[in-house]
Amino acid sequence: MYFYGTTGVNNIGHLEIGGIDTLELAKNFGTPLYVYDTALIRERARSFKKAFEEQQVRAQVAYASKAFSTIAMVQLAEEEGLSLDVVSGGELYTAMAAGFPTERIHFHGNNKSKEELEMALEHKIGCIVIDNFYEIELLKTICQEKTTKVNVLLRVTPGIEAHTHDYILTGQEDSKFGFDLQNGQVEAALTEVLSSEYFNVLGIHCHIGSQIFETTGFLLAAQKIVEKLAEWKETLSFEAKVLNLGGGFGIRYTKEDEPIPPAQYVSEIIKEVKQLVEQFSLTMPEIWIEPGRSLVGDAGITLYKIGSAKDVPEVRKYLAVDGGMSDNIRPALYQAKYEAVLANKPLAVSTQTVSIAGKCCESGDMLIWDLPLPEIEEDDLLAVFCTGAYGYSMANNYNRIPRPAVVFVENGIATLVVKRETYEDLIQLDLPLK
């Protein structure tokens, strides 16, 4: 039996996380319930940071808050000395409500509105990652109106798509994000921002994909960008102070996944960049990264109460839980795979294969296909592992299902950090016809 993150079995045979019995958590906070072991989040944050410190490379490790954005999580990121990546006014607002130092906030997004950019400038956030020509003009106008100057990075698409073990080199990237590195777009953008009095151009950003288990894609991206930096030093007299290589470091969702430790990604990236800047006689830039799931993914589990069952003879057995695509849309959205156990008897021998369905009125609302489990009894509780990233942050109210509560556990102490939504919350913004 493999237990994910920091889960294990306690002396009465129940699944525990962060030193707390999951049955106790379900009893005290209800189900479905997201539970995070914050000690693991801290450990991951520290290992990313330490890897840079050990090699004395100036760096920022920015938590990609899209993975899981709440006030408590942002405060945890602050406690660990991380920077923060936000992609919307809402994520920025959350960061500010959490008291996050605005100079360590990086603002992403392919369609930031005027209001969002104004908000970012008013709060003097660390930098804006410019995504397209429209944004250059918009940001210029806002800076002009506010007679201010802003730090910017340019997001480029380096023509590398990385996903798990595959990476694809594409001549021109078909992506909604960023300036194409190959077809002259990025040079045009760079010329534009460098010539403007409103921008302090810090450097270049790219994000090549997600759930990546090898360093090859990152190294290739670094190579392509640094080659361009060498060219731009000559042609545009531009030297980047920052090279941001994005997030996407893989985690173990199932036994098939074999991630490498955070320190390994970082040390190989550093080695490559150092070698490249030496080769092209450039100044070593600061290296920024933006991990999301690798900080919070396997620190989170979701607890569900098991309800109805349906047997389709000779085909499959469905078991339904009290949540589903409303709290974890990833299986429906990208066929994401998860593993799970019965929290009240995680070591019981599996005697059957079942498929875990959600309670939403949608055939596609399936959480796990073909999961080996023991016989099911009244009050059994299902614990789905590694739901910490893009679970709560993608949660929705389909079928007007209230979103679950979120609890942080650490060293035997459980803290409620997001309340369970109520039916009153659900209709809070509705207005009557008359």
Ligand X SMILES: Cc1ncc(COP(=O)(O)O)c(C=O)c1O
Nearest to ligand X of 14, 155 (CB atom): 155
Task: Please identify which of the residues 127, 206, 360, 361 carries the catalytic annotation.
Answer: 361
Shortest distance (Å) from residue 348 CB to ligand X: 33
Reply yes or no on whether 360 is catalytic: no
Shortest distance (Å) from residue 126 CB to ligand X: 15
Phi, psi for 32 (deg, rounded to 5): -60, 155
- Helices 114-122 and 133-146: angle between axes, nearest 10 degrees: 50
Tell me how crowded residue 88 is: count the other CB atoms within 10 A of its CB: 18
Residues that bind ligand X in the complex, under the rule CB under 6 A: 64, 67, 85, 108, 207, 210, 246-249, 290-294, 389
Nearest to ligand X of 57, 251 (CB atom): 251
Residues 6+ apart with CB under 8 A from 206: 155, 156, 157, 158, 178, 181, 221, 225, 244, 245, 246
Q: By beta-carbon distance, which residue lies closest to ligand X?
A: 292
Burial of residue 19 (CB within 10 Å: 0-12, 13-18, 19+) is middle
Nearest to ligand X of 104, 293 (CB atom): 293
Nearest CA-CA partner of 357 in 318, 402, 304: 318
Nearest to ligand X of 292, 323 (CB atom): 292
Nearest to ligand X of 300, 402 (CB atom): 300
Q: 185, 204 in Cβ contact below 8 A?
A: no
Shortest distance (Å) from residue 129 CB to ligand X: 7
- Helices 114-122 and 89-97: angle between axes, nearest 10 degrees: 30
Q: Mind telling me the catalytic residues? A: 361
